[in-house]
Structure 1
Amino acid sequence: MAKIYILDTNVLLQDPLALYSFDENKVIIPAVVLEEIDSKKRYMDEIGRNAREVARLLDDLREKGKLHEGVKLPNGGNLVVELNHRTFDQMKKHFIDTTNDNRILAVALNISIEQKEMKKNEEVILVSKDALLRVKADALGLKSEDFLSDRVVKFDRMYLGYEENWLSPEKMDLLFEEKRLPISEVKTSHTYPNHFYIFKDLANGTRSALAMTDKKGEYINLFLSQQEPVWGIKPRNVQQKMALELLTREDIPLVTLAGKAGTGKTLLSLAAGLYQTEDLNKYKKLLVARPVVPMGKDIGYLPGEKEEKLRPWMQPIYDNLEYLFNTNKSGELDQILAGMSSIQVEALTYIRGRSIPDQFIIIDEAQNLTKHEVKTILTRVGEGSKIILMGDPKQIDHPYLDEYTNGLTYVTEKLKHRGESGHIKLEKGERSGLAQLAADLL
């Protein structure tokens, strides 16, 4: 059955290519959506960029015909910019205010009524990222859907980077003797490179082994975790051991770390970065950056020079550095960093246009990055550099992102098949018992 999809503004502002995501069906953009997109095109951020991209795509389609009459899309569907069906008569009995959301609802409702009156066999569906608009649509008897095509992973199936598995006593003995096993000897659904295994003996449940696939995903190598502390930090659980292995491997230039608050993502990354930059001299500089996205109400403009303005945003990084350098006095960390020109802490705002070779790069709070922003960052990485993206996909402050569409999840899922990347989801909180309790239950 043919369908008519009516798009809300937020769908196009999140993914301009959503225009082409509805197969051979009809796609309708209400005129009010164009007005809202026009109001965003001057923004100097991801929303503004997407608004301008939508405008460019529509202008290209305009070359094929009049948009208000309908033009053919490359995937076989049709696109119409709807100028009619705007009457509010049917809406007044339910929603009085003529807000932009209600104007979009009015278009969808009037088209749905027209379809029924003309006895056409076309289902009308409102597509919106706004849950409350979908609730309103349901109240009016309209079918509504979230836009899910931009999700890179299905619900609750995000890649962990490791798995628990069972081996027969014979294969366990072979693993310890040969230090490796062909991937064909293990029953697993994953054949990703740099993937970890926690093996347990079928005959003796207390006997276990930690292993890791090679960069080609052909062999599983026995993994002997590092015993010596890295810059004074020793892993407290098996996931942290795996993470530290990825963080200290030169042949894995991209590492993604996901986990709840207090699991040690930032501390482990900084310790590994300082160890390889200051002790081993593998990298010329340690660069730490994070997006400037406030949690809750923004505090507005901040006084002072760039460093003074950035300090509140970067404070979580400084807290971890104070722990690693074991500073006790006020200002002591600033004096240490001033004497170590190899450590640089800054906002992601200043990374565009740069080329960053021979550096250990840490990007904190990467879950607040869009797909476009994370691509921009990764394309800045120069020869000889290593980059770590980390964050908690469940703690997102960006209004147009969620657990399944953010930049951190996007990179993890898209590059998990590549030998140049490794991923670990840290499960256990090590900050404090209270922090773990809050992360689990609140």
Structure 2
Amino acid sequence: MVDRKAAAASPSPIRYVIDTNVLIHDPNALMNFEEHHVALPMTVLEELDKLKTGKHSVAAECRQAIRLIDKLLGSATPEQIEAGVPIARGKNAPKGTLSILVDHPDLNNILPSSVNDNKIINLAIELKRSSESKVVLVTKDINMRLKARAIGLDSEDYSSDQLVDDVDLLSNGFHHVTGSFWDNVAKVETRPDRKFTWHTVELVDPITALSVNEFILDDEGKVFWAKEVNGKYLLIQEFSKDELMSQEAWGLIPRDIYQALALKGLMDPDIHLVNLAGSAGSGKTILALAAAIEQTMVSKIYDKIIVTRSVQGLDEDIGFLPGTEAEKMEPWLGAISDNLEALHADDESSSGSIEYILQKVPLQFKSMNFMRGRSFQRSLIIVDECQNLTPHQMKTLITRAGNGSKVICLGNLAQIDTPYLSATSSGLTYLTERFKGFEYGTHLTLQGVPRSILAEYAEAHL
């Protein structure tokens, strides 16, 4: 994997040959190779050119990457571009170079040049032959890395924006304490108010990896929400398990303590970002939808609900579906309709209830393509299937939130459908790490599969 610190410590500059998918994953990737030389095959420019138009989600990334390349190359001559143009870095001195590799017809190709991946590998091999520096192919494509390895070319994944090496290291958003939480408290100062009981505590031993807005659960049924964390010193809100389990949103009551913790974050108006992870059937979508309807129809904290979803194939297929944007999105947002039905399953006429909700609730289905450049005020934005987003796409969506808005991100790292993404490089993982400690955000990984006995067994055994 491309590690900027390790690369920076290298005794001599490395020549990195960049694949197209790296620039789609991170359009600013060219700036992340420190003092090393970056080489772009002409094939990569051609692929970016083909992908820069259209309504698929990668078009904007391609255009951004092209603009950066144009800015870095500036008015350089063909000879300077071939040799390498210094990469300007604002007011700092240029560091590293950017060059373009041209596919000459007289190249001694090792792999058949009918495939673009092979063209890039051939150019990298040619560069290796003619260069005294180490040459490394950087690509998100595992199979391309395998082909490169097979013919003796060093290759790496791009992971400059990868914050963890193992998703097991990600916080669940809660910490279990054996016995009573109070057994680990050296000093306490209690301050009740009308809504909550607040404690400022000094712990005997600090809770490992505890961050702001994470929950603490003990064996005596007490639950605490950490609002300030400074080593052994905590400011916490205290709840009882029964209090949390009795919460209700649009008739929905949590089935377990983890759903109750999630609902607490979803319903708190001071929390602007809720990040819910968990396996299929753990209740992410139905909790988010119930909380959204409750806060738009009853408490009227928000004016509308915006629902979008990342699905591999969505961007290409949506253009061929008939109807308006909402009608085109409907087949892809079946999970929302299914959960609306579940919320009203006990009604005398569930279909009539759903029609009423769809008429009365300001619920809008949006394609991710139409989210760019927008700013949603006083809106509750639900982003489903976040595990399929790149970190750059995740940033694009989160920044759509305007004044008085809340974003709810849902995802399952075990069900990634996007090529070149893994659990560690997913935008959902990136979001979880980057917002750890954000005082207006909370993250929770739901446990178990309350959907059904069958779903729980399938999640564990298939």
TM-score bin, normalised by smaller chain: 0.7 to 0.9
Query: Does the aligned pair in 1 maintain the 2:341–2:350 contact within 8 Å?
Result: no
Q: Where do 1:279-290 residues align within 5 Å?
A: 279-290=298-309
1:213 matched to 2:233: no
Match of 2:421 in 1: 401
1:182 matched to 2:201: yes
Count of residues in Structure 1 that have an aligned counterpart in Structure 2: 428
Match of 1:13 in 2: 24
1:130 matched to 2:146: no
Deviation readout 1:399-421 (Å, 9 max, x if unpaired): 35332333333322212221110
Query: Does the aligned pair in 1 maintain the 2:214–2:226 contact within 8 Å?
Result: yes
Pick which of 378-387 and 238-247 moved more: 378-387
Pick which of 297-306 and 69-78 moved more: 297-306
Query: Does the aligned pair in 2 maintain the 1:30–1:104 contact within 8 Å?
Result: yes
1:164 matched to 2:182: no
* Structure 1 residue 255 displacement after superposition: 0.7
Q: Which amino acid aligns with 1:18?
A: A
Cα distance in structure 1, aligned partners of 2:420 and 2:208: 33
Q: Which amino acid aligns with 2:86?
A: K
Match of 1:226 in 2: 244
Q: Which amino acid aligns with 1:228?
A: S
Pick which of 69-78 and 294-303 moved more: 294-303
Give the 3 Å change call, closer, same or farther, for CA 338–196 of structure 1 in structure 2.
Answer: closer
* Structure 1 residue 432 displacement after superposition: 1.1
Cα distance in structure 2, aligned partners of 1:295 and 1:426: 27
The TM-score normalised by the length of structure 2 is 0.82
From 100, 115, 126, give the equivalent of 1:99: 115
Match of 1:51 in 2: 62
Query: Does the aligned pair in 1 maintain the 2:188–2:202 contact within 8 Å?
Result: no
Match of 1:424 in 2: 444
Match of 2:7 in 1: none
| CA RMSD between the two structures | 3.1
Query: Does the aligned pair in 2 maintain the 1:8–1:33 contact within 8 Å?
Result: yes
From 152, 157, 160, give the equivalent of 1:149: 160
Cα distance in structure 2, aligned partners of 1:36 and 1:344: 34
**Which residues of structure 1 form unaligned runs of 5+?**
201-206
Cα distance in structure 2, aligned partners of 1:245 and 1:53: 39
Pick which of 141-150 and 227-236 moved more: 227-236
Cα distance in structure 1, aligned partners of 2:359 and 2:315: 35
Q: Which amino acid aligns with 1:212?
A: W
Q: Which amino acid aligns with 2:153?
A: L
* Structure 1 residue 297 displacement after superposition: 9.9
The TM-score normalised by the length of structure 1 is 0.86
Match of 1:25 in 2: 36
* Structure 1 residue 246 displacement after superposition: 0.5
Give the 3 Å change call, closer, same or farther, for CA 220–137 of structure 1 in structure 2.
Answer: same
Give the 3 Å change call, closer, same or farther, for CA 105–183 of structure 1 in structure 2.
Answer: farther
* Structure 1 residue 175 displacement after superposition: 9.3
Pick which of 327-336 and 189-198 moved more: 327-336
Pick which of 426-435 and 220-229 moved more: 220-229
Give the 3 Å change call, closer, same or farther, for CA 73–357 of structure 1 in structure 2.
Answer: closer
Cα distance in structure 1, aligned partners of 2:300 and 2:461: 42
Query: Does the aligned pair in 2 maintain the 1:291–1:349 contact within 8 Å?
Result: no
